[in-house]
Amino acid sequence: MKMIKSLILGSAAGLLAVGGAQAADLPVKAKAVEYVRVCSLYGAGFWYIPGTDTCIKIGGYLRVDTTFNGGIYNQPAWNGGLGTGDRFTDRINSRSRMALTVDTRTATEYGVVRTFAQGDFQFNNFGTSNPTVLGAAPTALGGSNSSELNGVGGGYVAVEYVFIQFAGFTFGKSSSAYATPWNGYPGNNTSFLIGGEDSVTGVNNIQYTAQFGNGVSASVGLDDPTVFNRTGLWNLSVPLGTPLTTGFAGANAYGGFVMPDVVGNVRVDQAWGLFQISGALHMVNASYNALGAGGAPVAGTTALTDSVLSGHPESKLGGSVMAALQIKNIPTGPGDDFKIDATWAKGDTKNVISTSAASPSFLMIGGVPGQFGGSGTIGVGATTDGVFLPAAAGGDGNIHLTTAYGVRGAFNHNWDPYWSTSLYGGAGWVRYDGAARTEMCGAFGALVPGLGVTYSCNPNYTAAMAGVVTRWTPVKNFTFSAELQWFGLQQNWSGSATFTPGAPQPIQSWSFADQNTLSLNVRVQRNF
């Protein structure tokens, strides 16, 4: 009996052992798949990155637009080949762009950590750089520009915002603390509405914003001015090229980056609208009186290696102030609003003659396609932060800061959920003091005979623009729009002079007169 009992127990133990081994070989039940979860902390479109507590939103837009008698994004025909009407220039310019944005946010014990980036994948025609001209006369420095990347199958990526926000601080490439929430777009499509500041594609900066409650805030920042907040600092002793196309016979002599722009604003943002006061300090510093390495050679003045010996003018501090107002939900209809801002600047002209690109100087010829001035007339306007003429060239050697003031705004009306219209306008006034006018006109007169006899010189000017844009949105986030825009240049020269405004224009007698032009932009855009 004991033998039978032992045999049964042993057999049972063996079966349990075999069963355990077989159970160990069975597949283990997989963990549940972690599906993407909606993150409702920061608004629509955010979701949690799987396995993290970070929320992310991917968005952007796809835009196709074409401008007739203007540059990309409805730049007026105010200079270059469009302004002078030569046959090398494309009179129809278009761009296809996909903007991709990535926004991440993580809640921490110190507040939300946010990163944001926008890259633009785009292709456009050659703009005002006709491929025939590019092939025959490549850039002087042997480099390339974005237009040259738009060959067959080409295109390029442009970087707009790239920044980190934490505990009220912003680090990276973002709109200046000086800017309004609408930057240079109170209601327009054009990226070239003058009259105020526009840093919509971002400047390298560090800024801090304090919230005081009830919609009241204040911001202060340090901006890198080299790309987005400089026009020109003209050394009038450098006789380069033709007198008009190089800024009244001068060359840009801005020095290196030695001081950031100190900027800030105080803002009230409430249900009725917005009110903001902004200010900026901007350093205007020159390189040398005689430009050598890093500038342009001055024949017969000094060797290229002797620029340091020529000295330089004393740097000057300029700046600007801006007041902005937005009124929301006005009686004309739901969602309607009115925006306006006004600016005064001294030595900080970019905050008045501003675009989303570089500030233009103006050179327009009448009687050519797309321009409405009389045949044989010309209008000019030089945009600078300041000018100087070294003592060795007969000047006082001081930087004379340029004064500018401007205004811009828009009325935006919704006809119904599908149709809307905006009326907008802007203007900038650029003024030079007496010493600057004397030195600028003297430099011009040294190259173009007849000053004070056949023509009078006054570089002060006024530039103005106005437009209307109508939009149709048949489905949400998908919009067709058309924008008609006028630009006018009121200049203060008179009489006539014999010169060439630059190739391919001939040397002939030109009469100074105000100029006007029209452009049309059509756009299709899908936001996502």
How far, in Å, are 32, 240, 248, 262, 398 from residue 255 at the CA level? 62, 19, 20, 18, 15
Find tokens 């729009």 and name the residue.
481
Count of CA atoms in the C-beta half-sphere (13 A) of 247: 22
Q: What is the pLDDT along the chain (528 residues), one digit of tens a residue?
A: 444 445 444 444 443 344 444 444 555 565 655 678 999 999 999 999 999 999 999 999 999 999 999 999 999 999 988 999 988 888 999 999 999 999 999 999 989 999 999 999 999 875 445 544 444 444 333 444 556 677 677 788 999 999 999 999 999 999 999 999 999 999 999 999 999 999 999 999 999 999 999 999 999 999 999 988 999 999 988 764 455 554 455 788 999 999 999 999 999 999 999 999 999 999 999 999 987 644 554 555 555 567 888 899 999 999 999 999 999 989 999 999 999 999 999 999 999 999 988 899 999 999 999 999 999 999 999 999 999 999 988 899 999 999 999 999 999 999 999 999 999 999 999 999 999 999 999 988 988 999 999 999 999 999 999 999 999 999 999 999 999 999 999 999 999 999 988 888 889 999 999 999 999 999 999 999
Count of CA atoms in the C-beta half-sphere (13 A) of 50: 5
| First CA to last CA distance, the chain | 84
Residue 167: left if φ>0, alpha if ψ -120 to 50, beta else—which one?
left
Measured between alpha carbons, how far is 77 from 66 in angstroms, rounded to an integer? 14
Model confidence, pTM: 0.87
Burial status of residue 406 (CB atoms within 10 A of its CB: 0-12, 13-18, 19 or more):
buried
Cβ contact 159:173 at 8 Å: yes
What lies within 8 Å, CB to CB, of 458 at 6+ separation is 437, 441, 492, 493
Measured between alpha carbons, how far is 126 from 136 in angstroms, rounded to an integer? 15
Tokens of 115: 């990163």
What lies within 8 Å, CB to CB, of 124 at 6+ separation is 72, 93, 94, 95, 96, 147, 150
Looking at residue 136, what is its pLDDT?
Answer: 43
Starting at the edge strand found earlier in the chain, the sheet holding 386-388 runs 251-252, 233-235, 386-388, 400-401
For residue 9, give the H/E element and its range: helix 2-25
Q: What are phi and psi of 16, to 5 degrees?
A: -65, -40
* Three-state DSSP state, 114: strand
Count of CA atoms in the C-beta half-sphere (13 A) of 59: 13
Looking at residue 31, what is its pLDDT?
Answer: 60
